[in-house]
Amino acid sequence: MKLTDVKNEALVKWVEKIAKQTTPDDIYVCDGSKQEYDTLMQQAVDSGLAIKLNESKKPNCFLFHSDPSDVARVEKRTFIASKTEEDAGPTNNWIDPKELRKTLDDLAKGCMKGRTMYVIPFSMGPVGSPLSKIGVEITDSPYVVCNMHIMTRVGTKILDLIGKDGSFVPCFHSVGKPLQNGESDNGVWPCAPMEDKYIAHFPETREIWSYGSGYGGNALLGKKCLALRIASVLARDEGWLAEHMLILKITSPEGEVKYITAAFPSACGKTNLAMLIPTIKGWKVETVGDDIAWMRFGKDGRLYAINPEAGFFGVAPGTSSISNRNALIAASKNTIFTNVALTEDKDIWWEGIGYDAPGKLIDWKGNEWVQDKNDKSQAPAAHPNSRFTAPASQCPSIAPEWEDPNGVPVSAILFGGRRPSTIPLVHMARDWNHGVFLGSIVGSEVTAAALDVKAGTIRRDPFAMLPFCGYNMGEYFKHWIEIGKHEGAKLPKIFYVNWFRKTKDGKWLWPGYGDNSRVLKWVFECCDGKAKTVDTPIGIMPALDAIERPEGVSEEDMKELLAVDKEGWLREVKDIRENHYPKFGSHLPKELSACLDELEKNLSK
């Protein structure tokens, strides 16, 4: 499709302006068709950037290996360019927007030389839904186009929707590696050096500029950039919530349905929970979304959620038939794999897939790799943050309502993190403000998804939004408090869960995975006022016999999982009071300070 076919004047002017600046060899407007996807992917194969996988094992699947410097989100190169540093807040990297625009303008000059500029019109959320938002991404990466085909709704139907004068979020992306006459990438992943990588957001003008990285959320600008950083600002201004949350549909044996959202930092079992297979007889869990939830109030006062994405961008290592069979099935065809290992018969493999490496592999760096179980220091064959991009429609657990334009009514919100001690298996907030408090103190072990933070340490990640909130997080807390004051609101109940408790000798206390359905059952019962509960200093908790114990979990284990570790919680209070809350200064809502005081008082009784 050509630019002359586009009717929206603002879009045409923007594309022409960028083209003049970046000087691509050609401009192509994406139509979202299968033919378009197949053509671009074949070009990637022909150029040596992609490998077509074994058609009998992984039909229509492809493997890419990125540059070793371009493997994850780069938080230190991610910026919120609001008018003032205070607007960005203490948890974001801020640069003056005028200064940043000058830097980006200089970098963009001629940056698409030798490449095609692709214009991707896309919808976050079902096309035409009142809860959806429209974006247009300019990119010089066919890899990005193909991933956006899977992760969003791309095509001419989006152009029809915005018509001649409809609005959209402009998203600029370039790999930052122009080609000279006759030059090609020679099968090498194109990107810029680390110091030239910028993932920049302009909240006031609702713009995104990404330069120098071709990977994941740095380049697929509908995902974290639009759906969270920009959408969180839109949600604040328009009175809704844009959250880093999965959405589940749970059906009881009696046929009663409830929808639950959950926010966990990366590598805390979020995708596994989203596609959970229950171990409790008669209960059914279905997937509405695995990563992002947009929630608005309906006429009945309830919060209704949509999943703005159309695909899964899942972490591959650790995904197996035991941990997440549904994810493996979803990624068994029509899927893009990035930075996993390649087998001799052109299938894929990664650590934790559930079986040993089948012979000699090509690792994610392109080197031969043979598994040596005796060598504990052996580098992994697949990068710890390697990914699969798979259509959500292929997931066996996908709920029929996953594309309902009106969204689904939310009964409960879960927060959680990877914590080996202190935090119990589950507890419920006493009220909305207490729930916001629980969200504000979320902490977890750091993972490989964040490139520039040391793995294994614990950091606070409020609402699992630390890298994704587009404005001052203290004001974000206030927005959550204000949501609770909505006239006629019938608010979800809020819970804090932790599947990752360990004994002192490092053994798991809770088996997790499908057995987490036992905790969800208690959550379900709490929403109906039918659960067995006890009041504790930290909130409402299950009675000892309220959650059916899985095989291998003793009564003593259950007591430890549901115990209130007063000393541990007092250390939490001290850390929150001295190291966490002071960051937000005068922007911290007084309601949260009051909750912290109340917690300390309860623990000291």
Per residue in 254-263, pLDDT (tens digit) is 999 999 999 9
Question: What average pLDDT does the segment 117-126 reach?
Answer: 98
Which of 145, 124, 313, 76 is closest to 234 using CA atoms?
124
Sign of CA dihedral 486, 492, 584, 202: negative
Task: Check residue 459 and give its pLDDT.
Answer: 84
CATH number for region 242-307+402-603: 3.90.228.20
Higher per-residue pLDDT: 74 or 361:
361
pLDDT of res. 156 = 95
Active site annotation includes 268 = yes
Residue appearing with tokens 């290992």: 341
- The answer to whether residue 457 scores a pLDDT higher than 80 is no
Provide the pLDDT for residue 129.
96
Strand partners, 534: 541
Q: Count Cβ neighbours within 10 Å for each residue of 153-179 and write b for 16 or more, e otherwise.
A: bbbbebbebbeeeeebbbbbbbbbbbe
Tens digit of each residue's pLDDT (9 = 90 or more) over 284-326: 999 999 999 999 999 999 999 999 999 999 999 999 999 999 9
Q: What is the pLDDT of residues 519-540, one digit of tens each?
A: 999 999 999 999 999 999 999 9
Instruction: Let me know: does 122 contact 137? Beta carbons within 8 Å.
Output: yes
d(CA 362, CA 526): 50
With beta carbons less than 8 A apart as the criterion, state whether 125 and 132 touch: yes
**Single-letter code of the amino acid located at 237:** D
Long-range contacts of 549-553 (CB under 8 A, 24+ apart): 549/518, 550/279, 550/510, 550/511, 550/515, 550/518, 552/511, 553/509, 553/510, 553/511
Contact present, 118 and 1 (Cβ < 8 Å): no
Name the residue among 381, 228, 232, 398 with its Cα closest to residue 312: 398
Cα–Cα distance measured from residue 600 to residue 605, given in angstroms and rounded to the nearest whole number: 9
What whole-number distance in Å separates Cα of residue 565 and Cα of residue 347?
47
The whole-model pTM stands at: 0.96
Q: What is the average pLDDT across 575-597?
A: 97
Of 30, 171, 268, 526, which residue is the catalytic one?
268
pLDDT at 530: 97
The yes or no reply on domain 312-394 and CATH 2.170.8.10 is yes
Taken in order 285, 270, 230, 296, the sign of the CA dihedral is positive
Domain boundaries, the chain: 3-30+76-238, 242-307+402-603, 312-394
Whether 458 has a pLDDT exceeding 80, the answer reads no
Angle at 452 between CA 448 and CA 456, to 5 degrees: 50
Going by DSSP bridges, is the β-strand pair 78-80/93-94 parallel, antiparallel, or unpaired? parallel
pLDDT level of residue 268 (50, 70, 90 thresholds):
confident
Domains 3-30+76-238 and 312-394 share a fold: no
> CA geometry: angle at 124 spanning 123 and 127, to 5°?
50
Residue 446 has pLDDT above 80, yes or no: no
Three-class SS of residue 339? Answer: coil
Please give the CATH topology (third level) of the domain spanning 3-30+76-238. Answer: Phosphoenolpyruvate Carboxykinase; domain 1 (3.40.449)
Tokens found for residue 14: 């923007």
> In terms of DSSP H, where are the helices of 78-192?
85-88, 97-108, 142-151, 156-162
Q: Give the helix/strand (H/E) hosting 311.
A: strand 311-315
CA distance 140 to 159: 20
| CB 15 within 8 Å of CB 3 | yes
Burial 76-96 (b: 16+ CB within 10 A, else e): ebbbbbbeeebbbbebbebbe
Q: How far apart are CA 470 and CA 202, in angstroms?
A: 9
- In one-letter notation, the amino acid at residue 257 is V
